[in-house]
Amino acid sequence: MMSQASSLTIRRFAESDVPAALAIQAVCFPAFLLEDEAAFGSRVRLASSCCFVAMQGDTMAGYVLAHGWPEGSPPPVGAVLAEPPQVDVLFIHDMAVSPDARGLSAGRALMEAAFMCAAGQGIGRAELIAVGGAATYWRTLGFTEAATSDALAAKVAGYGADATWMTGAIPLD
């Protein structure tokens, strides 16, 4: 799957993209949310992977790590994932855009690719943990804050004091 967003090309995330994605992650997230190569690679290898990169020429402008996952059970930060026992939702684990590529609609283009991928797998809902005040952005993509159990609230808290559990329908058109 390839698509264009202004001067960007959106394509599947390959394991060889991990180093460039880690560099973007390092400038976009606080240290306690940084993950390593093994965690990134495990998400890309899942059968239900909907991971994509935005390229500006030969330079990575952004990425999304998203994959099928059991509903209401986000993995902990830094976890190396194995195939889940069931896939209920698209879990959007991480999306980051390089500061140099902001304003090019890279995030929206990445999410459109991930949503199309998930819809092709029959997944109709998505979940995520918005961090760093990003809930406002995710609302523009149709996500809303959702109620959590005490156990889920504890997991979300592991993503930072301002982390917000959000859910949304995957647009099918």
**Number of structural domains the chain divides into:** 1
What does pTM read for this prediction?
Answer: 0.92
Give me the residue label for tokens 């959007």: 92
CATH code of the domain covering residue 164 = 3.40.630.30
CB atoms within 10 A of CB 2: 9
What does the pLDDT look like over 127-156, one tens digit per residue? 999 998 899 999 999 999 999 999 999 999
CA atoms within 13 A on the CB side of 155: 15
pLDDT given for residue 144 in this prediction: 96
Judge contact between 13 and 44, C-beta under 8 A.
Answer: yes
Domain encompassing residue 165: 3-169
